[in-house]
Structure 1
Amino acid sequence: MTKRIAYVELKTSQQTSPVPEHLIAPGYAVDLVQTEIRVTPVDAADLLLSDVAYGEAAMRAARNGYDGVLIGGVPDYGLAAVRATTDIPVVGSGEASLLVAAALGEKFSIVTIWPETMDFVYDRLLRDNPIGRQCISVRYVSTHAEQSTLAEDDNFLTQMKAGREHMIERILAEIELAVKDGAKSVILGCNCMSPVAEILAARSSVPIVDPTTAGYRQLETMIALGLRPARDPRVSLSERADLFAEMVQAADLSLGAEQEDCPVCVLHDDGTASCDLPASVPAEV
């Protein structure tokens, strides 16, 4: 029987999971399960809303019979809450990446495409995981000013996903600065960086940890081993999943047309969004 894995990601028009086919072992299938609302964690309030949105989507996936859930965001939105509501394995891309990096060497760094104004999401990830103490630096590739270009078809994110040489060089420069900090390996700080992970790994002086690969491989292994989350037998499984669904439905009605488009996606002239590169952006590898 095929084991079904849900990859939870922000709501967009994308229809397929970003997990590469070559990663998926025989007997497993991966489906994309999206949040009901779109929100970018630009501050602490939106980070909490992201936790609720991702958490509800993961709880929904568990309720719909998936054998495991992967949170497709390095900040591991809603991870602890989801684990409190289900007995199936739930893996966070961020937590899995920390474990892999720690196994590669005592010290590691995170290099993210996002600007330093997003530092609070990484601060939380490192604070919530004991292994986070081994992270010696977080380095940011883009600037806050560049975020204003995200509504354009040709911006720093689409250029990165297309493998544009100048963006690859910018990321590699931060990776090598992390090496100077003392990092023995580097975690890519966003699942949106996965498309260029192999390019970066081939040109980096230290191992590169791709969060999509790290998270998926850990989840698949846990399912294959028949492992379930450990929990205190004195505490019953939470029954709040339905409440999370109601909260998200209310947020969806409240936000309405004000919901921002996914900043990782390409915004088209008709107002729709997708994670496909526009034809006008050639790949330069």
Structure 2
Amino acid sequence: MCGLGGSERMTYRIGIIGSGAAPTGSNVPPAAIREIAADGFAPELIEPRLRTFPMTPYDRGLTALAYLDCALEAEKAGFDAVFINTVGDYGIDEMKSATGMVVVGAGEATMAMCVNTGRRFSIVTIWPPKLNFIQLERLSSCGMQDRCASIRNVQEDREVEGVEQAAATTASLKDRNESLKRRIVDAINAAVSEDGADTIMLGCTCMAPVGPDVAAQVNVPVFESMRTGYKTAEALLTLGVRHSDAAYPKPNPENLSAVGALVAGQGNMDLGGDCEVCVIPEDES
């Protein structure tokens, strides 16, 4: 691991990439992060210049490029860490290779916490099976397939066919809708009793508003991905360590400007990408 000289710093800036909301022009992070940020840490929202949602593997590649651009710009601006505020961890390996900051993804960090507190975990996600490719990629890349008992989907594909249904779901999450929370709790209980899970990972950071409520209603550890991932970033900064350069070799410095040039060449491009399934309204409190 590479030292950061953490003890010499009084305040650490953590860039939050991915708000789960439409662009606001603000640097205010989601409420769940504001509520748990410790003294000495300054989380700030960073909005991507290229906006799209990874509904397909192709779109996922565009999202990774957009998030990598955010990380490169964050390092130039003096941030100490970036937190990828999505279970998909888009661009995480590229960020670790290209930057010297602490880089944490919500998905990777939460899976690691699950296996530190149990033997097998299940992912319980509000979204339907057609989006499971996001979690499956993370399980494969993180080597967690054998530790994951199941992916439990709270909704079916027919329930989320477009933006309107997705917006209704996220509005229900924000309002802590009792019916939706009950469905999440039922999915958790089924993962434990039927799939053999002893630990639960909530499979989308948009579930942050209901995370504490559902955790209080079950008898196994429940890790909400936004809070867990953010706190992991704080922990690494406190310890003064980051990812290994042996695992993530540095690229040719001459190539680092290519990402920004590609993204900036099109200005602030919106490819229909105000996230169709992860919208947390900015007035969440």
Alignment pair present for 1:17 and 2:29: yes
Distance 1:153 1:98 in 2: 25
Match of 1:243 in 2: 258
**What's the TM-score once normalised by structure 1's chain length?**
0.86
SS of the residue corresponding to residue 124 of structure 2 reads strand
Match of 2:7 in 1: none
> Equivalent of 2:149, from 112, 126, 136?
136
SS of the residue corresponding to residue 95 of structure 1 reads helix
Distance 1:183 1:166 in 2: 23
> Equivalent of 2:212, from 183, 189, 198?
198
CA offset digits 1:227-254 (Å, max 9, x no partner): 132113995444333211122234657x
Count of residue pairs brought into register by the alignment: 269
Distance 2:145 2:187 in 1: 19
Unmatched 5+ stretches in structure 2: 1-9
Change (3 A) 1:260 1:216: closer
Match of 1:109 in 2: 122
Match of 1:271 in 2: none
Distance 1:59 1:67 in 2: 12
Alignment pair present for 1:6 and 2:15: yes
Distance 1:163 1:110 in 2: 20
SS of the residue corresponding to residue 21 of structure 1 reads helix
SS of the residue corresponding to residue 155 of structure 1 reads helix
Match for 1:246: what amino acid?
Answer: A
Match of 2:244 in 1: 230
Match for 2:29: what amino acid?
Answer: S
Alignment pair present for 1:209 and 2:252: no
Distance 1:173 1:116 in 2: 17
Change (3 A) 1:250 1:139: farther
Distance 2:242 2:177 in 1: 42
SS of the residue corresponding to residue 123 of structure 2 reads strand
Change (3 A) 1:153 1:46: closer
- Aligned counterparts, 1:50-61, within 5 A: 50-61=63-74
User: Does the Cα contact within 8 Å between 1:58 and 1:71 map onto a contact in 2?
Assistant: no
Match for 1:184: what amino acid?
Answer: D
Match of 1:275 in 2: 282
Distance 2:260 2:76 in 1: 11
Q: CA deviation at 1:207?
A: 1.0
Match for 1:190: what amino acid?
Answer: C
**What's the TM-score once normalised by structure 2's chain length?**
0.86
Match for 1:208: what amino acid?
Answer: V
Distance 2:266 2:146 in 1: 35
Identity, % of aligned pairs? Answer: 29
Match for 1:13: what amino acid?
Answer: P
> Equivalent of 1:123, from 130, 133, 136?
136
Please say which of residues 23-32 and 51-60 is displaced more in the overlay: 51-60
Match for 2:76: what amino acid?
Answer: R
Q: CA deviation at 1:160?
A: 1.8
User: Does the Cα contact within 8 Å between 2:97 and 2:249 map onto a contact in 1?
Assistant: no
